[in-house]
Amino acid sequence: MARVGKTEKNGPGLLFIVVTLIVVAVVGARFFGFMPGDKEEEAPRPPVVKVEDPAPPQGEAVEEVPKVLVFHSHASENYKPKDSHERGGKGDVVAVGEAFVEELALLGIKAIHDQTIHDQPRYSEAFLNSEKKVSELLAANPTVQVVLDLHRDGLQDKPDDYTKARANGMDVAKILFVVGDKDNDLLEENLRFAQKVSDALEQQYPGVTRGVRVFKSDYSGELHPNSIMVLIGDWRGNTLEEAVASARLLARVLEPFVE
């Protein structure tokens, strides 16, 4: 008993100290990662997501193809105050065609505007020349859905306001749609299409259309079922500005007829 008491008096035994040092060493080694065979714990990683290449486009890119053909059998026609026809060059009616085509483009419709002068040097051969040219253009552009021969009228002994109208708060030229019945196997189709366009014009811009007429002439209507001669205004009765305004209105009316 005396030995035990002496040991407590003199402090912890040697064995206790050794055990304590071993425990401290083991804990420290584990804390600092020095224990043999242990691996450093890694933070969990997110699942790997496989990124594939974008899917290839389906089908081919849609090309911008012409849907409307515009030409002028009488490309030398003018409006007052100019002479009735431009000699040796393009008349005002070509500028009207340009405005029409520009408006179609704004509506997303591509058009061919043939500005060939067919009525010079021989005015009498104008429709023969334009028919040949239109045949070539249609053969080269089978996507064309509408064919328009743009003119202006040449009326006599009519009131000053006979071919004038008001639309969208401005003066515009009235529009006459004409179909030729000579040697025309597509007369009924031409007439049907002309009437639809005229009716649509009247509905959207009342008073601007002069209706549809049939002339006993060959106006190349047999080349396409949707072929019409369009007379925008009159030489004496309208200005170029009024004709241009009407051409833009016509383009808006025509949009639903082009797929």
Instruction: Give residue-wise pLDDT tens across range 132-165.
Output: 999 999 999 999 999 999 999 999 999 989 999 9
Which of 236, 248, 173 has the alpha carbon at shortest distance from 207? Answer: 173
Which of 103, 40, 56 has the alpha carbon at shortest distance from 253? Answer: 103
Tell me the pTM.
0.75
* pLDDT bracket for residue 178 (50, 70, 90): very high
Residue at token pair 């030995």: 3
Chain-wide mean pLDDT for the chain? Answer: 84
Using alpha carbons, list the distances in angstroms from residue 171 to 161, 165, 240, 246.
Answer: 10, 6, 11, 9
> Residue 98 — φ and ψ, nearest 5°?
-65, -40
- List, as one string, the DSSP characters of 1-23: -HHHHHHHHH-S-HHHHHHHHHH
Q: How far is residue 144's CA from residue 134's CA, in Å, rounded to a whole number?
A: 11
* pLDDT bracket for residue 13 (50, 70, 90): low
Number of separate helices (H) and strands (E) present in the chain: 6, 8
- List, as one string, the DSSP characters of 45-94: PPPP-PPPPPPPPSSPPPP----EEEE-TTTTB--TTS-SB-TTS--HHH
Strands in the chain per DSSP E: 68-71, 111-113, 146-153, 164-167, 170-173, 175-180, 209-215, 227-234
Any bridge partners for residue 230, and if so which?
150, 177
Any bridge partners for residue 214, and if so which?
179
